[in-house]
């Protein structure tokens, strides 16, 4: 059975990989972090699409049976192009699964979404939620600093909570109608869940795309039986294995070794 391909701009997608491995424990994975060009979240849709196509091309050349775009920014900008470029395999993003999780969690159908600048500006979450629930109200905010803070390993305590308060108070402490659900619309954000949760009003539910993305993939891909032995992960990055391993371990929730990470070059055209 061919491996499942997963890519992200860096280590954020490891929060999605973790959920995928729980649902597909017998499957092999190839994870690619485009660490040389992260973050995607402050780049234009055209650039993010170009980079995403290069990531997908490399994974397809390695023989994957399906592709998970474990990056909200890439899912928001590049999903259609990725499907056009690779019509023979299922290509799954994290936006629709995140929107499904939000709509399922919300009672009031007033939903807040926090994500990168690019994801918010593109409006993909807003559209995905309204497609699922026409009357839903969506309040969206870009939280760029969360990405750098997660990468720095500052995941809870005074500063992360102060930053969370600055981004979230305008949404949740405003007078009047308050969202009852917060979508973590960037795969970096789940590692900050404690700090974010600490500044949310009681009763607000926090959801992310990880578990629902794994469920979405189940619709298209049959898991390889675990009886054949647990699956393995092949690690690829475009820069700095040491940093990928160090920062990535906290996202993955288990130790990653720099020696296990292969560095690949996406800027040189691949042979066909």
**Catalytic residue list:** 71, 186
Q: How far is the CB of 267 from a copy of itself (least distance, A)?
A: 6
* Rounded alpha-carbon distances, angstroms, from residue 126 to 68, 94, 154: 21, 14, 29
Is residue 88 a contact point for a copy of itself (CB under 8 A)? no
Between helix 144-152 and helix 158-172 the angle, nearest 10°, is 160
Burial status of residue 172 (CB atoms within 10 A of its CB: 0-12, 13-18, 19 or more):
middle
Q: How far is the CB of 201 from a copy of itself (least distance, A)?
A: 21
Is residue 151 a contact point for a copy of itself (CB under 8 A)? yes
Is residue 108 a contact point for a copy of itself (CB under 8 A)? no
Query: CB-wise, 142 or 182, nearer to a copy of itself?
Result: 142
Q: How far is the CB of 36 from a copy of itself (least distance, A)?
A: 5
Burial status of residue 121 (CB atoms within 10 A of its CB: 0-12, 13-18, 19 or more):
middle
**Tokens for 177?**
């109608």
Query: CB-wise, 127 or 145, nearer to a copy of itself?
Result: 145
Q: How far is the CB of 64 from a copy of itself (least distance, A)?
A: 24
CA 181 to chain centre: 18
Indicate left, alpha or beta for 32 from its phi (over 0: left) and psi (-120 to 50: alpha).
Answer: beta
**Tokens for 96?**
């629709």
Is residue 117 a contact point for a copy of itself (CB under 8 A)? yes
* Rounded alpha-carbon distances, angstroms, from residue 143 to 20, 73, 115: 25, 13, 6
Which of 22, 61, 84, 162 is close enough to bind a copy of itself by CB under 8 A?
A: 162
Is residue 57 a contact point for a copy of itself (CB under 8 A)? no
Is residue 163 a contact point for a copy of itself (CB under 8 A)? yes
Which helix (H) or strand (E) is 83 found in, with range?
helix 72-85
* Secondary structure of residue 246 in the 3-state scheme: helix
Is residue 250 a contact point for a copy of itself (CB under 8 A)? no
Stretch that binds a copy of itself, among 37-45, 56-64, 78-86, 217-225 (CB under 8 A): 37-45
Please check whether residue 51 is in contact with residue 266, taking contact to mean a CB–CB distance below 8 angstroms: yes
Q: How far is the C-alpha of 159 from the C-alpha of 170, rounded, in Å?
A: 18
Sheet containing 205-208: give its strands across: 137-142, 110-115, 181-184, 205-208
Is residue 264 a contact point for a copy of itself (CB under 8 A)? no
Taking residues 217 to 246 in sequence order and writing x for each that binds a copy of itself by CB under 8 A, - otherwise, the string is ---------------------xxx--x---
Query: CB-wise, 68 or 241, nearer to a copy of itself?
Result: 241
Is residue 76 a contact point for a copy of itself (CB under 8 A)? no
Across-strand partners of 139? Answer: 112
Q: How far is the C-alpha of 106 from the C-alpha of 129, rounded, in Å?
A: 11
Is residue 42 a contact point for a copy of itself (CB under 8 A)? yes
Stretch that binds a copy of itself, among 85-93, 155-163, 184-192, 250-258 (CB under 8 A): 155-163
Is residue 36 a contact point for a copy of itself (CB under 8 A)? yes
The binding site for a copy of itself (CB under 8 A) comprises 35-38, 42-44, 47, 117, 144-145, 147-149, 151-152, 154, 158-159, 162-163, 166, 238-240, 243, 267
């Amino acid at each position: 059975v061919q491996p499942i391909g997963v890519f992200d701009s860096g280590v954020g997608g490891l929060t999605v990989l973790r959920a995928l491995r729980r649902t597909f424990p017998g499957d092999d994975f190839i994870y690619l972090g485009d660490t040389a060009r992260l973050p995607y979240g402050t780049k234009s849709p055209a650039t993010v699409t170009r980079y995403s196509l290069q990531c997908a091309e490399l994974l397809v050349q390695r023989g994957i049976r399906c592709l998970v775009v474990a990056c909200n920014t890439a899912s928001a900008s590049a999903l259609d192009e990725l499907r056009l470029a690779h019509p023979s395999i299922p290509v799954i993003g994290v936006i629709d699964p995140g929107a499904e999780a939000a709509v399922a969690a919300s009672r009031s159908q007033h939903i807040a979404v926090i994500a990168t600048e690019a994801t918010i500006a593109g409006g993909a979450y807003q559209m995905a939620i309204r497609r699922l629930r026409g009357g839903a109200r969506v309040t969206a905010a870009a939280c760029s600093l969360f990405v750098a803070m997660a990468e720095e390993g500052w995941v809870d305590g005074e500063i992360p909570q102060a930053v969370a308060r600055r981004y979230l108070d305008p949404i949740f402490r405003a007078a009047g109608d308050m969202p009852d659900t917060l979508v973590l619309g960037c795969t970096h954000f789940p590692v900050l869940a404690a700090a974010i949760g600490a500044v949310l009003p009681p009763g607000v539910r926090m959801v992310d795309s990880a578990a629902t993305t794994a469920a979405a993939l189940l619709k298209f891909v049959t898991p390889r039986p675990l009886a054949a032995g647990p699956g393995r992960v092949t690690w690829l990055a475009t820069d700095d294995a040491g940093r990928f391993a160090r920062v990535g371990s906290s996202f993955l929730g288990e130790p990653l070794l720099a020696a296990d990470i292969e560095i690949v070059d996406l800027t040189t055209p691949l042979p066909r």
